Amino acid sequence: MTGHRDHPIEDLATVVVPDAQLIDVRQPDEVVDGMLDGAVNIPLGQLADRLDELDPDRRTVVVCRSGARSSTAARLLVGAGFGDVVNLAGGMLAYAQGVPR
- Give the pLDDT confidence of 17-28 residue by residue, as tens digits: 999 999 999 999
Helix (H), strand (E), coil (C) string for the chain: CCCCEEEEHHHHHHCCCCCCEEEECCCHHHHCCCCCCCCEECCHHHHHHHHHHCCCCCCEEEECCCCHHHHHHHHHHHHCCCCCEEEEECHHHHHHCCCCC
Q: Please identify every residue annotated as catalytic.
A: 64
Specify the pLDDT at position 22.
97
pLDDT digits (tens, 9 = 90+) for 6-20: 999 989 999 999 999
What's the mean per-residue pLDDT of the chain?
93
The CB density around residue 96, as the number of other CB atoms within 10 Å, is 13
Query: Given this model, what pLDDT does residue 101 score?
Result: 44
Query: What is the pLDDT, as a whole number, of residue 81?
Result: 97
Q: Tell me the C-alpha distance between 43 and 71, whole Å.
A: 13
pLDDT value of residue 10: 87
Stretches where the chain sits below pLDDT 70 are: 1-2, 99-101
Q: How far apart are CA 22 and CA 81, in angstroms?
A: 17
